[in-house]
Structures are given as structure tokens and as C-alpha cells.
Structure 1
Amino acid sequence: MNDSKRFGILSGFVAAILFGASAPLGKPLLDHLNDFQLAGLLYLGAALGVSVFFIGKNPAQTLRRISRKNILRLSGAIFFGGILGPLFLMGGLRIAAAASVSLWLNMEMVATVIIGYFFFDDHLSKKGWLASLGILAAATLLALEGGVAGFKAAGLIALACISWGLDNHLTALIDGISPAESTFWKGLVAGSVNLILGLLVGSYHAGLLNTIAGLGLGALAYGLSIMLYISSAQQLGATRSQFIFSSAPFFGLLFSLLFGGTLSIYQIGAFFLFLGSVFILFRESHAHHHLHYPFVHSHTHYHPDQHHNHYHPEGEGKPYRHSHEH
């Protein structure tokens, strides 16, 4: 294995670790910020995190060179992935344990492939449907532990994942914009909107340290994570890098345990069911129709969003979705 491959593997795992840490590290900040305020800080942080791509450049040129149709797609991606998605995530994170939320985020992959099947002519095999049902069964198992509150939290995370699934498909249709540019505009616009809404619905009492923590978490978990994911994809190819990045929710579970969380029998069972189902679904989706997105953003994403941006190794500025003939 040469040095570039080693660097690609390392970059992919660091990206997954950073994104996985977003839920367990973000949950304590909800003690000082309302849902809108934290979502706003995280996404503004994501914009800061990818701003290194624009040193000596004017990011506004992006909007001048793409068509009106692509502007509408970007606006939709910002609305679903940058505004609705993180708000649903914050609501679920406020109710449920960070470990459960980390595992529930696996539902984004299910949401993406099912939305693709029904609305974007994507292929989904019988094994793909079985894996999707396995992930939903694991999500239900986790919700059972929390009773009514558990199902409410799972429902909110599911809505977040559906929002990010729509974001993934809309972003994949945009021509003439790079993942970094997409992340920058999502972060700047969605972060500003959410923060303004947060200030309108409640007072801001977070203080300087918590504000810096929110921005820093967004910059690392969604900004730097996406940059490292792109680097990994350049070295390893989209398939291998996405497979590595799909470990992000499981790193989130590990971080939750390191920060004092405990695992219940429900979470252990759901963990193995998620793990097997994600592996099958990932293999099946890449055997037929490829959706190049870091699972999850991001993160940013992102995951907030996935984590929620796309890299195509053949070059930027091309549609990120491609299919094989059967």
C-alpha cells in the first residue's frame, strides 16, 4: 500500500470520527442554546470550516455561473438539508440519548435510497429492500426502549434523515458547483436563517465559550470532515471512501460511551442489526446505482449534514449521479 492510499484511508476515518462526534458533543450545548440557535452555529461553523477553499477566490461567483434551475435545486437543498434537517435533529437529540441518536442517523441511507427509488428512478434490489427494513426494525427497537418519548425522538430523527435524503438527491442534480461551494452556501444561508430564528424565539444566553464551541464543532464535524472526505475520495475512489465514512454513526456511539453514556440491551441489539443492514445496503446500492454522498454530513450532515455533500472522482462540475446498464 502506497502513501497516498494510506493517507486516503486515514482521511476517511478521521472524517467519519469528526462527523460521528457531532451528536454526543452537540447534546450538552442544548443546555445553553435553543434548537434554532445551535443549528445556526453549527452550520455557520461549517461555512467557516470550508472557507479555506475560497482563499483568494470570490464564492459569489458560484451563483453567477450556474443556471436558474440549479439555483432552485441549491435552494431546495439548503431548505431541506440546512434548515429542516438540523432542526429535526436538534429536537430528537434533546429528547433521546446521544448513543441512540447516533445509531438512528443510519436511517439517512434508507431515506436516500427509497426517495431515489420512488422519485429519481434509482434501482433497489430485493436485498436492498431487506436491508432497509432491517435498519427500520433496528430504529424501532431503539424507540421501544424510550416508550412514547422514544418514538417521538425516533420520528424526529427520521424526519431529519428524510430531509437530508432529499438534500442528497437535489445536490446530486446540481451542475457547476463543487462540494465545498455547496457546503459553504448551505452553511452560510441555513446557519444565518436558523440563528436569526433562534434569536427571535428566545434570548441568547450561551456565552462566549459555548458560542465558540458551537462554531468549532460545526467547523470540525461538518466543514473539516467534508474536506477530509473529499481528500479520501480523491485517493481511494468514491466507493471505498464512502464505505469508510459509513462508520460515522458507530463512532458516534463510541463517543457517547466515552462521555459517560451506557449501552442498554436494546442499543446492543440495534447496533448489530444496523451494522449488518448498512453493510448489505451499501453493497447493494453500489452494485447498481451510485449516489456519491458522505452519509451522513454534513454534517454536516449533519448532518447536521453528512455529512450531506457529494464528490465525484471524475471531476467537479459534473452531475454526481450515474447509473449502470443492466
Structure 2
Amino acid sequence: MKVGNASYARGITQALLAAVLFGVSTPFAKWLLGSVAPGMLAGLLYAGSGAGLLLWMLWQRRRSAVSHEAPLSRRDGPWLIGAVVFGGVLGPLLLLLGLAHTPASTASLLLNMESVLTAVLAWVVFRENVDRRILLGMLAIVAGGVLLSMQSGGYGTSLMGALAIVGACLCWAIDNNVTRPISGSDPVQIAAVKGSVAGCINIAIALIAGYRFPALSHVLVAGLLGLAGYGVSLVLFVLALRSLGTARTSAYFSTAPFLGACVALLLFGEHTSVAFWLAGALMMFGVWLHVSERHEHEHVHEVITHNHRHRHDEHHQHNHDFPWDGKEPHTHPHTHEPLRHSHPHYPDLHHRHRHS
């Protein structure tokens, strides 16, 4: 595997694990839809992720008073609010509106727009680096997703339904991009806040619409499913953002439908088609293009002050104005002085420079 450093390899693993957890949650969520209204289920999934992660945070604090991650700060507020509003509220609402006027297979096809829109925003608006290899890899992964969605047929849809689903994809693309600037903060705290707030809002909307809570057993199952498929998955996604940047993380995450389908094959014994394996081959080819990327050139690091978990590597050569026991990794606000050098790198927390 040609990767520049261990951080990049770890980011790939985290992004793919996030995709596995989210992909696996889909078959179980579909099973719950037989007993739980879609709007209520969305709320329970998010609430489960938020509640589970909040309990984890409380347990961690009881074990140790020292946190190894940087807490969210006031300047993170606008980014976090954007992630909650677009990713946790508007996205699910638009998706439910679109599903009411769109066959499930067509909706799956349209949902592939999320990774495309995420990459476009990352490259055009947030100026994240892209080259032909990464672009080709993204196209291969999206083509695999399209092929995977097409195998069940069914294309009849209304314009309103299609626009609503594309709107949901745009909301999640915005969510992915506005989460990147705060990815250096505690990922569990980010996911806990997002899940709790989005869960409460979606449940309130479902109750106002006339839906009621399902049986307690379904509430518990939805909560546990949300903790794994939405909570832990988001934590891993945020960690991957630190090392890979938005477009690359989104590309790996977009393999979730294929990975979820593979798990469904093992658990439910479902049958496959030639299109399924062709889609898998395209996605794996795209992942290989990304994994084998090597991006190296002379670049300049500008002065930046931020707070995140770090070790004293080549990008962290700073003194401490407090007693330090020498343990790593550790977390504290620190300043990066100007630095010019050349080495393999990717759009992580410390490589967000422009390219000529």
C-alpha cells in the first residue's frame, strides 16, 4: 500500500469501518420500517446515537479526569450548528419527502449524488486538493453505486421527489464539508451533540405529525442500531476527516451500500446478480486508486494556532508553557510556525494549502 504515513493508512481504515457500520445498519433499519414510521425511526436512530455516546463520555470522565481529545470551543459553534441543521434535520426531512414520491430503487440511485456533491463542494468551495487519479477513483466508486442501485429496476418518479432527494444529498454534502473544520475536536462529543439534537428535533416533528412511539423493544433496537450505524460510524468518519480530508473520506464512505449488501448476503442469504459483483469491482478499483495515491511536492505551512490530539512529529515542534510529563499523544492549544518542506501528504489537519 503506497501511503505517505501511518496517519493516512489509519484514516483509510477508519473511513471504511464507518462505511461498514452505516452499511450494515441499512438492512436492519429497513426491517424496523415494517413497525416504525420513517420519521419516528429517523429520530430514534439519531437519539440512540446521541444518548449512547453521551453515556460513553460520562463513563470515560468517571474513569479519568484527563481527556485526550480537544473539547469543542465557541468558535466551533457555527460549524457544528451547520452540521446538525443540514445533516441531522434538513437532510432526513428532504429524504422522507422524496421517498414519498419516489420508488426505493430510484432513491438509491439518486443518493449516489451525495459523494459527488461532497467532492464538488470540497474541491470548488473549500479548495481541497484533487488530481486525476482521485477524480477517476471517485467516478469509479460512484459508477459502482449507480450500477448497484440500478439492479432492482424501477425508475418512475416525480420531479418533486427527485429534487427532494438531490436536496437531501446536497444537505449531507454540506454537512460533510462543515464537519471538516472541527474534526480536530473530540469526535465523540461532535457525534453526541449532533445525534442528541437531531434526534430530539426529528422525534418532535414525528409527534407533531401524529405519529406515536413504537413498542419499547423497537425503541431499544432502533437506539442500539443508531448508536452503531450513526454514532460510532460518525465518530470514525470524523477521525478519518483529520487524515484524509472531505472528498477522500466521502469516497471511501460511499462504499457503504456495497459493504452493507455483502453483510446482508451473509446474514440473510440474499441472492446476487452479475451487476452486484461488477459494482463491487468498480468500487474496489476506485478505492485502490485512492489507496495507492502518492501526493508529494514542496509546500508551505502558514502560521496556525489550533487545538487537537497530537504527537511531537515533524509538524509539531513546539515548546510548552506548562509542566509536561512527556506522555504522548496529548492535547493542548499550540501554534505552528511557518514551515517549508517536501514530503508525501494529503488534505489532513495540517495540509490545507492551495496548489498552483
Question: Residue 21 of structure 1 aligns to a residue in which SS?
Answer: helix
Q: Which residue of structure 2 aligns with residue 202 of structure 1? A: 210
Corresponding residue to 1:130 among 118, 121, 136: 136
Q: Deviation of residue 198 (structure 1)? A: 0.9
Contact 2:114 2:169 in 1 (8 A): yes
Question: Residue 271 of structure 2 aligns to a residue in which SS?
Answer: coil
Q: Which residue of structure 1 aligns with residue 51 of structure 2? A: 48
Q: Which residue of structure 2 aligns with residue 18 of structure 1? A: 21
Counting aligned pairs with the same residue, the percent is: 33
Corresponding residue to 1:28 among 14, 28, 31: 31
Q: Which residue of structure 2 aligns with residue 167 of structure 1? A: 175
Paired positions, count: 288
Contact 1:178 1:316 in 2 (8 A): no
Q: Deviation of residue 245 (structure 1)? A: 6.8
Question: Residue 146 of structure 1 aligns to a residue in which SS?
Answer: coil
Instruction: Please state if 1:119 is matched with 2:148.
Output: no
Q: Deviation of residue 183 (structure 1)? A: 0.7
What are the equivalent positions in structure 2 for 1:72-221 lying under 5 Å apart?
72-88=78-94, 95-96=103-104, 101=108, 108-141=114-147, 142-143=149-150, 145-148=153-156, 159-174=167-182, 177-204=185-212, 206-221=214-229
Structure 1 residues 190, 227: closer, same or farther in 2, change over 3 A? closer
Q: Deviation of residue 109 (structure 1)? A: 3.7
In the alignment, the residues of structure 2 paired with residue 226 and residue 161 of structure 1 have an alpha-carbon distance, to the nearest angstrom, of 17
- C-alpha RMSD of the superposition: 4.5
Q: Output one character per residue of 1:31-54: Cα deviation in whole Å (capped at 9) or x when no partner.
A: 222222111111111112222123
Structure 2 length normalisation: TM-score? 0.63
Structure 1 length normalisation: TM-score? 0.68
Instruction: Please state if 1:322 is matched with 2:325.
Output: no
In the alignment, the residues of structure 2 paired with residue 20 and residue 38 of structure 1 have an alpha-carbon distance, to the nearest angstrom, of 17
Contact 2:46 2:195 in 1 (8 A): yes
Higher strand share: 2
Q: Output one character per residue of 1:163-199: Cα deviation in whole Å (capped at 9) or x when no partner.
A: 2221121111238742111111111111110111111
Q: Deviation of residue 312 (structure 1)? A: 7.1
Q: Deviation of residue 244 (structure 1)? A: 8.2
Q: Which amino acid aligns with 1:215?
A: G
Q: Output one character per residue of 1:47-90: Cα deviation in whole Å (capped at 9) or x when no partner.
A: 122221234489xx967x413xx322211110111123334556
Structure 1 residues 147, 23: closer, same or farther in 2, change over 3 A? same
Instruction: Specify every segment of 5 or more residues in structure 1 that has no aligned partner in the other structure, as ranges.
Output: 289-310
Structure 1 residues 197, 71: closer, same or farther in 2, change over 3 A? same
